Amino acid sequence: MRIPYSLSFADLQARLADGSLTPTQVARDVLAAAPLGDQHHAWIHRLPEADVLAQANRLESVVEARKLPLYGVPFAVKDNIDVAGLPTTAACPAFEYTADVTATAVQRLLDAGAVLIGKTNLDQFATGLAGTRSPYGICANAFDARYISGGSSSGSAVVVALNLVSFALGTDTAGSGRVPAGFNNIVGLKPTRGTISTAGVVPACRTLDCVSIFTSTTSDAWRVYEIARGFDTVDAYTREPEPSRHLPATPLRCGVPRASQLEFCGDAETAAIFERAVTYARESGAEIVEVDFAPFRETAALLYQGPWVAERLAGIKDFFAAHQQEMHPITREITAGGARYSAVDSFEAAYRLQRLKQRAASEFSKVDVMLVPTSPTIYTIAQVEADPITLNSNLGLYTNFVNLLDLAAIAVPAGLRDKDRLPSGVTLIAPAFSEPLLCAFGDRLHRLSSETLGATRFTLPSRIPAIKDSAGDAHVQLVVVGAHLSGMSLNHQLVTRGARLIRSARTAPCYRLYLLPESQPPKPGLVRSADNQGHAIEVEVWMMPVDRYGAFVAEIPAPLGIGTIELEDGRLMQGFVCTQALHAARDISEYGGWRHFVASQ
């Protein structure tokens, strides 16, 4: 069974809003269609029907949940990303464990109303760009099962292309969030490193890893990114938000590699589609500027011909020492190669990378964005199995350098090839924090070159919301103490107003936390001790657009209010406080925070 309507946000959310669909109906349709993904070996673990329907029923039972930005939207996650209570395999049965904690990025999407359907297949330990290195089956292309789907996030791309979910999370270290998008006629957003937490992600190269997003349109990718991103103290590589780059008011300068530097591995079809995409970029109003692609190509070679391979070994060294014979032979060979690099090799490579960063930055000073093929060609599964290392390396020619150079990228469809009607894509690349620019310009190119979504006959929505980063608008930072914490009962009041989590923190050690009597839902009250003796209480700092702040504050019931809170680092910020004495209330300060108290009950 195929789902008779598009799961793109514009179509699905309109139906959910007008009542012609409910989350439960969507969940039932998705469950009925999910076996189609099994035919492509796209799934590793699908949630039981009862669990999926329970998620949908919970959403329907709470009237306020209808305001959540992802209310009833089905999604999937790559099986190197943790979901509490579910197995994580990284496509290696011997590695399997049951996760205790849900990955931060996944939890933020669940809190926003999304419904998890299952976990998807991948190149083992996220090592590969072909989608052929999994004991759970080779993940076949959504258009033609004889061809590769691209990796390592193969299953995540295929379930989106087949209209089995609205979006899926992958990971991207060397191009795993882009190559599968190009091969399956969908969008793949690789955000700036550290903007989406990698807490709860099995590392490939931890210093380079990103959580990536697969959708059928760029506006959907932007929406998921807005919700999933945010500072996370659990992730050592998380980054504070910085001002985003939007489309410039003047004509956008679009860089393309010099003609002599383009490589298509003899594939005239991909070359023709890229040439056409450049024409579309020009027709959209962009100024085309040739750039020197040499520093980017040299950087790409470093990823697998340098000591970053050792980082793949570092991520699973204990498992590798005990279970390497239980790994996929190609993954084992690549991972074992990390042992040959020394500390001296690492420093020398770091010095070379820094020089290449300077050369790449010089090229980006001439342009706003760079346009490249997503991959130089596509191969059959049989071709890759006959020469797995060389052909996989070819696929990373236009992707391997992006994370090393701290760039952001989005892969968008560029049309179908004439001869075999397989998809081909292009990728837009720009400096860090350029996601709004990439999504907006990517939408222009997508609409000029493609008509259908993924491997379906559904067409692109005629209108999309403007892609604009609200973080660039005036905003208020707010310290959240109790039921508004992420994952708690009133968190939706923040999320539905466009607020996003900045970081976790603690108060100065001079506060007490009380359980407010007869409060529904249960809430705590934070009070500063009169003698400045007390506890450091765990809190979160959220950022909310200022134009939505007043309405939010108006909903706060007595005895709570907004006042000044001193954080552990000495900063003074506005946040939830109790505006009256609570002598008769239960003191729960010893728990150190509302989350710990709730967990103890």
The verdict on whether 20 is a catalytic residue reads no
Query: Who contacts 179 (Cβ-Cβ below 8 Å, separation ≥6)?
Result: 129, 150, 151, 188, 374, 375, 395, 396, 399, 411
Catalytic residue among 134, 149, 152, 216: 152
Q: Coil, strand or helix: which one is 212?
A: strand
3-state secondary structure 298-347: HHHHHHHHCCHHHHHHHHCHHHHHHHHHHCCHHHHHHHHHHHHCCHHHHH
Rounded to the nearest 10°, the torsion over CA 468, 505, 170, 15 is -50
Cβ atoms of residues 183 and 423 within 8 Å:
yes
Catalytic hit among 78, 119, 190, 523: 78
Q: What is the CA radius of gyration of the chain?
A: 24
Q: What stretches of 306-449 show up as alpha helix (H) in DSSP? A: 308-315, 317-323, 329-336, 343-364, 381-386, 388-395, 435-449
Task: Decide if 574 contacts 550 (C-beta within 8 A).
Answer: no
Tokens 């060389």, located at residue: 390
Q: Which of 6, 156, 176, 375 is catalytic?
A: 176
| Spatial contact of 438 and 188, defined as CB atoms under 8 Å apart | no
By the 8 A CB rule, do 303 and 400 touch?
yes
**For residues 408 and 438, is the Cβ–Cβ distance under 8 A?**
yes
The Cα 50–Cα 52 span in angstroms is: 6
Clarify whether 67 is annotated catalytic.
Answer: no
**Contact predicate 209/203, CB 8 Å:** yes
What is the C-alpha to C-alpha distance for residues 337 and 178, in angstroms, rounded to an integer? 25
Active site residue 176: yes
Q: What backbone phi and psi angles, to 5 degrees, belong to 359? A: -70, -40
Catalytic residues: 78, 152, 176
